[in-house]
Amino acid sequence: MFIRIFTQALGIALETIDTELTAEYTKQGYQMKRRDFRTIQGLLGTITFERRRIQKQGPRAKGFYPLDNQLGLRKYQRYTALYMKRVTEEAATSVYRTTADVMNRLTLTTISHQTVGNSIKQVGNYEKWEQQEIGRAVLPTVEQHRPAMLCIEGDRLIIKGQGEKRQEIHRVQVSEGQQQHGWQSVLVHAHYFAGLNHKALIQQVTAYLQREYDLGKLTVVSNSDGGSGYGKDIFESMVIGCRQHEHVLDRYPVNRKLKERLYFVEPALQEEIRKALREYKADTMRVLLDTAESQAATTEEAAHIEKLRKYIVRNWESLKPITMRTPQVQPAGIGACENNHRLYSYRMKKQGRHWSKAGGTAMVKVITAIRNKELDNAFTIWEKGFTAPISRTCKGTMRRIMKKIPIQPHVGIH
């Protein structure tokens, strides 16, 4: 009952504002063409109000609704901007049908799972905000960060696409090391990037680093599994101009590679090879690989040793333990990239879900924006009604409306 009274009162208030706005535009030569009803659903229920369409005389004159313009309502828009934002946040952690069910139960509105999917796809305009951030210049009054060490990690995540295709989520995260909060380690000033377009993602990360950090005075440590698109050269292109760049190959894929290639080698020899790698002894490694090659009984096993030898030679600089670098670099903040895959894998890989290019990109952007606490800032770009500016005409209208409210004296509480 209370909500119904509130929505009715809000509709009457909007109609009053529309009346005053129309009167103000009439003084400027506009004429009222017709009255139309409009229904908008929000967190507090359904609001129905009548507003006027006005237009100037002339063959090329276009009509508009003053109240719709002031409220930031687009044509055919059925839901308020704040409601759509809440739907977007909920859909980032649950499937569309569950999101629709939650919103229908906890609010006085009705939304279908198809509408939830369409609202998520609207986040594609989030790229406009990203492009603005890429082009944002470094202000001389803003001091750039100069941490003791800057950590950059990159990796990709495979999700199912429509049909037999598959999609790759490319991820890069930037931090200034990590701090211990009780039993949990937390990255310092972490910022996350994700998308289905690898080239655009690298461009975005590069612009962020050049804008936020004084790279010429920083030591940068990068970490990856060495896969396609995440080699040392890619990270060097992102931090060009830095004082020092150290690239570290992640140990997990290296150990997996050793296990795959040395499956026929005696366990004792395998351990010696791992020890030589940990101690970073090139001569010892060559001798041990020659010994492993002598144990190959088939051409296939010999080919495995040759591939392993080329892999180690190709990545030898990146295999150097981080504690042996000069100057010595602390490993804090390296190795957390795959743990942060969970935000995307839990939402996008369960129950055999398949994603289109547009739908997958939109969901990745929403999750990333929420993780970086940028959703509010970005939402103002793709949804003008979220922070519609109050015009001078509307301010004057509100003052006149408030003056027209008669003062009603009352006895008060006894």
Tell me the per-residue pLDDT of 56-72, one tens digit each, with 9 for 90 and over. Answer: 887 788 889 989 888 88
Check whether residue 342 and residue 213 sit in a common domain.
Answer: yes
Among candidate residues 168, 328, 174, 337, the one with its CA nearest the CA of residue 250: 337
d(CA 198, CA 361): 12
Top pLDDT among 275 and 134 is at 275
| pLDDT at position 389 | 60
Final residue before a domain boundary, out of 275, 301, 323 = 323
Range of the structural domain that residue 48 is part of: 2-72+388-404
Same domain as 291, residue 259: yes
The confidence score (pLDDT) of residue 35 equals 93
Inside any domain, residue 351: yes
Any idea what DSSP says for residue 64? B
Which are the contacts of 54, defined by CB distance < 8 A and separation ≥ 6? 22, 25, 26, 30, 31, 32, 33, 63, 64, 65, 66
**237 and 158 part of one domain:** yes
Tell me: pLDDT of 136 over 80. Answer: no
pLDDT level of residue 309 (50, 70, 90 thresholds)? very high
Is residue 343 situated within a structural domain?
Answer: yes
Same domain, 11 and 24: yes
Mean local confidence (pLDDT), 348-372: 86
Per DSSP, 145 falls in state B
Predicted pLDDT at 333: 66
Same domain assignment for residues 267 and 246: no
Instruction: Judge whether residue 206 has pLDDT over 80.
Output: yes
Short-list 70, 66, 39, CA closest to 53: 66
Percent of the chain with pLDDT over 70: 86
Other Cβ atoms within 10 Å of 4 Cβ, number: 11
CATH of the domain at 162: 3.30.420
Q: What is the per-residue pLDDT for 252? A: 86
pLDDT average, residue stretch 169-181: 88
Q: Does residue 140 have a pLDDT over 60? A: no
Q: Is 328 part of any domain?
A: no
What is the tally of structural domains in the chain?
Answer: 3
pLDDT value at residue 387: 58
SS3 110: coil
Residue 27 is predicted with a pLDDT of 87
Pairing outcome for strands 45-55 and 31-42: antiparallel
Write down the residue that tokens 């237009």 correspond to: 55
Answer yes or no: do 242 and 347 share one domain.
yes
Q: Average pLDDT for residues 112-127, to the nearest whole number? A: 79
CA distance 360 to 318: 33
Whether residues 310 and 208 fall in one domain: no
Dist. CA 32–CA 51, nearest whole Å: 10
Q: What is the pLDDT of residue 169?
A: 92
- Sign of torsion over alpha carbons 87, 90, 91, 95: negative
d(CA 88, CA 96): 10
On the question of a cis peptide bond just before residue 406, with omega within 30 degrees of 0, the verdict is no
Q: Could you tell me the pLDDT band of residue 124, with boundaries at 50, 70 and 90?
A: low
What average pLDDT does range 237-261 have in this prediction? 90
Residue percentage of the chain with pLDDT more than 90: 29
Instruction: Please check the confidence at residue 225 and state whether its pLDDT lies above 70.
Output: yes
Average pLDDT of 27-41? Answer: 91
Mean pLDDT (whole number) for 216-227: 88
Quick one: 190 and 281 in the same domain? Answer: no
pLDDT at 65: 92
Residue 381 lies in a domain: no
User: Measured between alpha carbons, how far is residue 375 from residues 72, 100, 138, 198, 208 in Å?
Assistant: 18, 20, 22, 22, 17
How confident is the model at residue 398, as a pLDDT?
67
Specify whether 228 is located in the same domain as 343.
Answer: yes
Residue 31 in this model has a pLDDT that exceeds 80: yes
Contact by Cβ (8 Å): 117, 187: no
Structure confidence at residue 350 as a pLDDT band (50, 70, 90) = confident
Q: What pLDDT, on a 0 to 100 scale, did the predictor assign at position 126? A: 66
Quick check: is 62 in a domain? yes
Looking at the fold, whether 284 and 199 belong to one and the same domain comes out as no
- Name which of 143, 128, 144 is nearest 210 in CA terms: 144
- Tell me which of 280, 303, 323 is where a domain ends: 323
Question: With 90 as the cut, is the pLDDT of residue 276 above it?
Answer: yes
Q: Is 99 exposed, middle or buried (0-12, 13-18, 19+ CB in 10 A)?
A: buried
Ramachandran angles phi, psi of 405, nearest 5°:
-70, 115
Q: Are 187 and 244 in a shared domain?
A: yes
Q: Is residue 277 part of a domain?
A: yes
Indicate the pLDDT class of residue 235, thresholds 50, 70 and 90.
very high
Query: Which of 213-227, 298-312, 318-332, 338-352: highest mean pLDDT?
Result: 298-312
- Is residue 369 assigned to a domain? no
Q: Which segment of 159-168, 320-329, 379-388 scores lowest on mean pLDDT?
A: 379-388
Statement: residue 34 has pLDDT above 80: yes
DSSP 264: T
pLDDT at 280 (0 to 100) = 92
Q: Token pair of 10, please?
A: 């809000």
pLDDT at position 288: 93
Residue 137 pLDDT > 80, yes or no?
no
What's the mean pLDDT when you consider all of the chain?
Answer: 84
- What's the whole-number mean pLDDT along residues 224-248? 90
- Tell me if 63 sits within 8 A of 33, measured CB to CB: yes
pLDDT reported for residue 331: 65
Residue 370 forms part of a structural domain: no
pLDDT digits (tens, 9 = 90+) for 372-410: 888 877 776 656 555 556 666 666 776 776 666 666 777
What is residue 381's predicted lDDT score, i.e. its pLDDT? 64
Residues 237 and 255 in one domain: no
Least trusted range by pLDDT, from 46-50, 69-73, 104-108, 331-335: 331-335
